[in-house]
Amino acid sequence: MPGTLALQERYASLTDPIPELRAAVTAAREWADRVFVINGSARRTQASPGPFDERAVPFDEALFTALTGPDVARIRSTDQRLATELWATVGSAPDLADALASKPWQVSVDYHDAPTGVAWWVIRYAS
C-alpha cells in the first residue's frame, strides 16, 4: 500500500487532487488488520490517465458490486487480463477472496469515487 503513486507522501503537492481518498487511506491504517489494494480502472474518461475505454466503467461497477457484496466467487474470478488492459490494480483479488471466504462480513464503504478518472475505493470488512 498504496497502490497509486499519488497516495505516497513524496508525491503530495500544494494542491492535493485526492484529499478525501488520502484521508480514507490514512484512516485505514488505524483500523485495518490487513490491507488489500484493489483499484478500479484508469481509463474511464477522456481525462483519465489512460486512453478512454468504454469497458472501464462497467468493469468498475461489476468489481465494486463484487467487493461490497462481498461476492467471493466474483472477486476470485476477476478478469486479470481485462483489468490490465483497463489499468486496474486487482492482483490481490484472489487473496482478498480467500480472506473473505471463511465467514459472513459486514461491509462499509469509506471512500468511493473517481476524482481523476481513476476508480478508487476504501472498503471495510467487519465480522
Q: How many CA atoms lie within 13 A of 113 on its CB side?
A: 11
Identify whether the C-beta of residue 122 lies closer than 8 Å to the C-beta of residue 24.
yes
Write out pLDDT tens, residues 84-112. 999 999 999 999 999 999 999 999 998 89
Per-residue pLDDT tens over the stretch 5-46: 556 566 556 666 677 777 777 777 777 666 677 889 999 999
Phi and psi at residue 53, to the nearest 5°: -140, 120
Q: Hey, where are the domains in the chain? A: 16-126
H helix or E strand, kind and range, residue 97: helix 93-100
Burial of 62 (0-12, 13-18, 19+ CB in 10 A): middle
> Residue holding cell 468493469?
59
Answer yes or no: is pLDDT of 123 > 60: yes
**pLDDT of 115:** 84
